[in-house]
Amino acid sequence: MKMLVKLGELFDASRLIPIDSAHVSGVSYKTLGEAPTDFLTALANANEKVVVEATLNPQSLDPKHLAKRLPTNLVERQRKLNTIFDKLGFLKSFTCTPYYIKEPRSGAHLAWAESSAVVYANSVLKAWTNREGGPSALAAAIIGKTPDCGIHRIENRKPKAIAEVEATLEDETEYGALGIFLGKILEDKIPLIKGLRNPSLENLKQLGAALASAGMANMFHYEESAVTEGKLEKITVETKHIKETLEELTTATTQKPDLIFVGCPHCSLQEIKEIANTIRNRKVKSNIEFWICTSRKIKEKAKAYVSKIEASGAKILTDTCAIVTWTDKLGIKTIMTNSAKTSHYAPTLNKAETILAPLKECLKTALKQ
């Protein structure tokens, strides 16, 4: 309560408001470490419990595949963390796409900490959530409330800039490149993005994830009906801007990846289906790892497709993603991905070079012809 009240005072909130759900980041031991683990242990030992539906971001390992390959001490520390979250009453979701587990209702107030989920919830699902830090989302989950400030107030959800997209976006990587390009320019300004041509939900997911990675905006508008006030900053996005951003996000000096990674943010059922239908009866090349990351719920829903994919030699991973696990300890130096977010973070968080390419090209590279 003290934490949330202080946060509210900093942002001129006059009250705390009830939330429908909370989503906590800082679940991977790789990004969390020992001191926060001690804090969480103290909470659990004090018999604290969440009072709303509360989900968790990806942890640092997949129990089926990666637990056997990573150092035992790291695996045990992650499992200790998982036990603590379980004691606190969290759902064992371990996903960055909690909206695939349960879609929040339009207008619902949330306390979510995963930046890509925050942008998707506000922009596509029309829910209301600030980009919480891990500790504030945890506190909100325990008391069931959050400060009434930021994106929870309608006046703060209005566009502050207009982005005119003159480029024709062909695939998910180009939507991701648009997000990175705008994030760097806009910082925390909410844009009204004009010129998108019937984007799929998966394309909007990539756009939002990239926008949140390169900037601090918690949402975007993409419908022409969005209300604007006064004279707004205007940005024109040309084909050259998308091309230049794509080139910047590819840092590898080789075209031969050690890992092909799809599922940042975690794959939808539609994406799993598309991958399975493209693979058909082909096999993954022997010198390449191919990971498809998703949530437990989507994997369960996609059983028939999962069987086809894993028969190829590809691995469907749940509970984790390449960004929050120790890929460097697996000898992975070059990652090919269709995620602009991964390409943005992997050089620092994974000590890896990146190749950004659309899903079709990732599959072509991964599979024997």
Residue 136's closest CA among 34, 18, 2? 2
Q: Phi/psi class of residue 69: alpha, beta or left (left: φ > 0; alpha: ψ in -120 to 50)?
A: alpha
pLDDT at 335: 98
The torsion angles phi and psi of 190, rounded to 5 degrees, stand at -80, 125
- Give me the domains of the chain, ranges plus CATH numbers: 2-154 (3.30.499), 158-248 (no CATH), 250-366 (3.30.499.10)
What is the Cα–Cα distance from 225 to 319, expressed in whole angstroms? Answer: 38
pLDDT at 223: 82
Cβ neighbors of 167 (< 8 A, separation 6 or more) are 174, 178, 237, 238, 239, 241, 242
What is the Cα–Cα distance from 58 to 93, expressed in whole angstroms? Answer: 8
Whole-model pTM: value is: 0.97
- DSSP code at position 284: B
Cβ neighbors of 141 (< 8 A, separation 6 or more) are 22, 24, 50, 51, 52, 54, 90, 111
Q: Is the peptide bond before 265 cis (omega within 30 degrees of 0)?
A: yes
Digit-by-digit pLDDT tens for the chain (369 residues) are 999 999 999 999 999 999 999 999 999 999 998 889 999 999 999 999 999 999 999 999 999 999 999 999 999 999 999 999 999 999 999 999 999 999 999 999 999 999 999 999 999 999 999 999 999 999 999 999 999 999 999 999 999 999 999 999 999 999 999 999 999 999 899 999 999 999 999 999 999 999 999 999 999 999 877 767 788 999 999 999 999 999 999 999 888 999 999 999 999 999 999 999 999 999 999 989 999 999 999 999 999 999 999 999 999 999 999 999 999 999 999 999 999 999 999 999 999 999 999 999 999 999 998
Residue entry with tokens 């959050």: 146
Strands in 161-165's sheet, in edge-to-edge order, are 191-194, 161-165, 233-237
Residue 325's closest CA among 264, 249, 251, 253? 264
What is the Cα–Cα distance from 185 to 187, expressed in whole angstroms? Answer: 6
What is the Cα–Cα distance from 216 to 135, expressed in whole angstroms? Answer: 18
Q: Are strands 145-147 and 16-18 parallel, antiparallel or unpaired?
A: antiparallel
pLDDT at 280: 93
Write out the two tokens for 327. 């890929």
pLDDT at 228: 78
